[in-house]
Amino acid sequence: MRGGRRSSFYYPISLNLHGKKCVVVGGGVVARRKVKGLLEHGAKVEVISPSVCSEIGELAKAGEISVKGKKYEPGDLHGAFMVIVATDESETNLEVAQEARRRKIPVNVVDSPEQSDFIVPAIVRREDLVIAVSTGGKSPALARKIRTRLEKIFAEEYASLTDLLDEVRSELKQEQITLSGDEWQEALDLDLLLTLLRNGQRGGAKTSLWASLKAVALRRH
């Protein structure tokens, strides 16, 4: 907060959607993007729309999602963990948002942050490494532009680095070596590790990381 002004009411959070029912109201191109994003995170997706685009139809035929081929009606949100509204009908959008709030279900109305409990940021994903970009709903286009730039900076080797760090952390625990967050920061030579991984030298990267971590740990004694 700067000068007493609140910068945003949105609290960044990562939700576990695995196996949870997420309802998407709408069946067009925007709804398709939302459906695909939810599926990528393990959600159980239900689409409510009298008509759907071809890709949503194909997902339904494959059994990956369920589709209610009708207009939204009160009661359709029963059992939902999350709701995303992606129609071009303002009255429907409002009705869905109101029912979601009555049921205490978080709702996102696409392109209407004032009606939404949450917004969906632009995402850069490198397997388990996820970088989210949000403008608080003010400019999704800007968020997507920034995402495009970040995709060039955070290339695919960051996924390998994330896996390597997880592997080494587990090995440290087995050896009962504990390092603080600051010590990890000190030990990480990102440029060196990323160069080695980019060149396919994972073993060399691991050896280098272990050497740095042990050197940091020894300095405490």
Question: CB–CB of 27/46 below 8 Å?
Answer: no
Q: Check residue 38 and give its pLDDT.
A: 97
**Read out DSSP for 114-161?**
GG-S----EEEEETTEEEEE--TTS-HHHHHHHHHHHHHHS-THHHHH
Taking CA atoms, 97 is separated from 13, 104, 114, in Å, by 21, 10, 11
| pLDDT for res 214 | 86
- From residue 60, alpha-carbon distances to 27, 52, 70, 80 in Å are 12, 10, 15, 18
Report the range of poorest mean pLDDT among 6-10, 62-66, 159-163, 172-176: 6-10
For the record, the structure tokens of 165 come out as 């760090």
pLDDT band at 137 (very low <50, low <70, confident <90, very high): confident
- Name the burial class of residue 205, with classes exposed (0-12), middle (13-18) and buried (19+) by CB atoms within 10 angstroms of its CB: buried
Per-residue confidence band for 1, with pLDDT thresholds at 50, 70 and 90: very low
CB 187 within 8 A of CB 216: yes
Tokens of 182: 């600051």
Measured from the Cβ of residue 77, the count of other Cβ atoms closer than 10 Å reads 22
pTM: 0.79
pLDDT at 153: 93
pLDDT tens sequence across 61-112 = 999 999 999 999 999 999 999 999 999 999 999 999 999 999 999 999 998 8
**What are the tens digits of pLDDT across the range 36-68?**
999 999 999 999 999 999 999 999 999 999 999
**Contact partners, residue 188, CB within 8 Å, separation at least 6:** 209, 212
pLDDT band per the 50, 70, 90 thresholds, residue 212: very high
DSSP code at position 105: -
